[in-house]
Amino acid sequence: MSAQTNSPMDDALLAKLTGRLGDKATIEKICASFGLVYSEFLPDVIKSETDVDVVVAYLGCDSGYKNDLIADLGDNITLVDATLRNWSQNITLSCGNGFVITLMEHLLGATPDTIEPPADRLLSVIEKDLAVTVFDKIANVLRSAVNAPGGFEPTLEPPHAGEERPKPADDKPDEFAATINMSITLAGITSDFAIVVPQAALLKTTVAAPKAKNQSAQSAEWTDQISEQVRRSNVTLDAKIRLQDLTLRTISKLAAGDVIPFHDIGDVRVDVSANSKELYVCEFGRSGENYTVRVKDTINSDDELIRHLMN
């Protein structure tokens, strides 16, 4: 008889014999245990650290090759690849962009009645910074729920848009995994998040509810993280210069080429703001080919600006 090439069924049989693929009932039971932990624990973590109420629900699980499962997560998501020493080196976390956008609006002072469902879009720079913290919380709930020896912290790669994920190499073998599908609802807006884990790790796992930590310490840590991320984020500055008062009759007759003088004589005052928060009093000038402003006085301290952006 001629030799036959391996079929998907052969791969599955070998994976079952070597502990890399479980039966449907076993995987569903393990994933449901994770779902219960996330449903009960993640809302408390977010509430204690942001004073934001969320509802987390388990949506079931999917099984298959890991690359296929990631491709099935859909659009408008952000992904993070992660490792947890002594448990798995190939974890992928997913979170709907809508949750990160809505959470950022809350942290910047929006009220639930003013928040509308966000448009499908990529995360901004500052939202991607916030996503780092969101994924950190999701990963740490995972770490607390598994029986990996050593108590190591998870290691997370930088987040990236789902559509920007590199295509897997054709010659790199894939592995069987399971997707733990969850929903998270904030201000009536529901998004999905998911954890994609190799079944080899799941099958050796005993899931346990995490132990409660000091909530005040967690809250301070969250605030420090958000503050640092806001400090490192790019902010658009606006400069406002007062012009000479004109009558409505004059304004209605302005045409291309007409000149409106500045209100100030001599040094021209410029008010510089960010996100509608006034920062500096400056004077208008020029340096080489560029028009510039020179800071003369500060209006708000650095800490006051951070509080404005976070509240």
pLDDT one-digit tens code per residue, 165-207: 988 877 777 999 999 999 999 989 999 999 999 999 999 999 9
Q: What pLDDT, in 10s, does the model give residues 261-308?
A: 999 888 899 998 876 678 889 999 888 888 999 998 887 666 555 555
CA distance 240 to 201: 58
* CA 138 centroid distance within chain: 11
Q: Which residue has the higher pLDDT, 249 or 18?
A: 249
Q: How many CB atoms lie within 10 A of CB 74?
A: 11
- Could you tell me the two tokens for 129? 């910074």
- Domains, the chain, with CATH or none: 8-231 (3.40.1550.10), 237-310 (2.30.330.10)
Residue linked to tokens 């780092």: 132
Q: What does the block give as tokens for 18?
A: 């070597």
Q: How confident is the model at residue 66 (pLDDT cuts 50, 70, 90)?
A: very high
Query: Does residue 286 contact residue 268 with C-beta atoms inside 8 Å?
Result: no
- Residue burial 166-186, b: 16+ Cβ < 10 Å; e: rest: eeeeeeeeebbbbbbbbbbbb
Q: Are 178 and 31 in contact (CB under 8 A)?
A: yes
Region of residue 224 (phi > 0: left; psi between -120 and 50: alpha; otherwise: beta): alpha
**Number of neighbouring beta carbons within 10 Å of residue 70:** 20
Residues in Cβ contact with 278 at an 8 Å cutoff, skipping those fewer than 6 apart? 271, 272, 299, 300
Backbone angles phi, psi at 45, to 5 degrees: -60, -50
Task: Give φ, ψ of 85 to 5 degrees.
Answer: -55, 140
The pair of three-digit structure tokens given for residue 15, joined into one six-digit string: 């994976």
At residue 21 the predicted structure's pLDDT band, cuts being 50, 70 and 90, is: very high
* pTM, two decimal places: 0.69
* 196-252 residue pLDDT tens: 999 999 999 999 877 655 555 555 565 566 666 666 666 678 899 999 998 988 888
Percent residues over pLDDT 70 in the chain: 85
CB 103 within 8 A of CB 134: yes
Whether the pLDDT of residue 97 is over 50: the answer is: yes
